[in-house]
A = this chain, B = another copy of it.
Amino acid sequence: MTPTEAPAVSGIRPEKSVWDSQVLDGEPLNEVDRIYAEILDAVIDQRLLPGVKLTEAVLCDVFHCSRGMVRAALAKLAHDEIVEIQPNRGAFVATPDVKETHDIFEARRMVEGAILKKLMGMPDLESRLASLSSLVDEERAAFANGDRSAWIRLSNHFHVKLAQLAENAVLTDLMRGLTSRTSLIIALYDVPGRSACSFDEHDVILDCLARRDLDAALAAMHHHLQDCEQRLRLSDEEIQSDLRAVFTFKR
């Protein structure tokens, strides 16, 4: 994966100008946070891909600010493991390795399972779940419209919003971090031919929750995350078997 630069960085400023609350709650208080959020959004939407070099001067141009602002935003992103800063060489969108991938998915299975348990004990669950149902509908629509960025963003947001329903800010922040990093992983290891629609799986989870069937909900979430992880092409062996499949098919 060689560092690329100009074309990918140009994807930072999407056409939408209305503030999207995916990354931060409410408007950012300062310039650094704004830049942070813009870059993070671009990473989550997979407009900025793993390994891309984030040159300070280019970002200053894009965001019309001084280098200090850019450096501060990059430092925060590095702290989140979204960006890797290599001393004297620059900042790059992070490229999580196989171990990190496994660790993140494992952590998600633990945390998201615990969130479901908490939700199960909460009153008024059905009305809480209504906003999530419409979100899944939006996922479905985005997919049908071929709007990949929107689909990815909404798909990610489903998990964050589920955490928000649990009314624990620490868990919500945690889920934000885990889903952001998952987006990187998927961008890095996803196999186009293996992509399946995740909104159906989201629907199943919601259904189980609405029926207050904890075991089913846990199984559905576990299955969803396991599936997501299984779909990634993580090893040379998998790449080899894919190449074989390609040439077998061609012949």
Stretch in contact with the other chain, from A5-13, A106-114, A130-138: A106-114
Bound-state Cα–Cα, A30 to B79, Å: 14
Query: What B residues does A168 contact at CB under 8 A?
Result: 103, 106-107
Q: Which residue from B75, B87, B114, B178 sits with its C-beta under 8 Å from A75?
A: B75
Bound-state Cα–Cα, A178 to B87, Å: 29
Bound-state Cα–Cα, A65 to B205, Å: 52
Is residue A174 contacting chain B, with contact meaning CB distance below 8 A? Answer: yes
Is residue A1 contacting chain B, with contact meaning CB distance below 8 A? Answer: no
Q: Which residue from B29, B79, B100, B115 sits with its C-beta under 8 Å from A79?
A: B79
Is residue A245 contacting chain B, with contact meaning CB distance below 8 A? Answer: no
Bound-state Cα–Cα, A110 to B174, Å: 12
Main secondary structure of the interface of A (DSSP, over half): helix
**Cβ B75 vs Cβ A107 within 8 A:** no
* Count of this chain's copies in the oligomeric assembly: 2
Is residue A99 contacting chain B, with contact meaning CB distance below 8 A? Answer: yes
Query: What B residues does A169 contact at CB under 8 A?
Result: 99-100, 103
Is residue A24 contacting chain B, with contact meaning CB distance below 8 A? Answer: no
Query: What B residues does A80 contact at CB under 8 A?
Result: 79
Is residue A211 contacting chain B, with contact meaning CB distance below 8 A? Answer: no
**Cβ B75 vs Cβ A170 within 8 A:** no
Is residue A76 contacting chain B, with contact meaning CB distance below 8 A? Answer: yes
Bound-state Cα–Cα, A99 to B168, Å: 8
Query: What B residues does A72 contact at CB under 8 A?
Result: 72, 75
**Cβ B30 vs Cβ A103 within 8 A:** no
Chain B residue nearest to A73 in the complex (CB): B75
Instruction: Pull 20 A–B residue pairs with CB atoms less than 8 Å apart, ordered by A.
Output: A30-B87, A72-B72, A76-B76, A76-B79, A79-B80, A100-B170, A103-B170, A103-B171, A104-B170, A106-B170, A106-B171, A107-B171, A107-B174, A110-B110, A110-B111, A110-B114, A110-B115, A110-B171, A113-B114, A114-B114
Using a CB–CB distance below 8 Å, which chain A residues touch chain B? 29-30, 32, 72, 75-76, 79-80, 87, 99-100, 103-104, 106-107, 110-111, 113-115, 118, 168-171, 174, 178
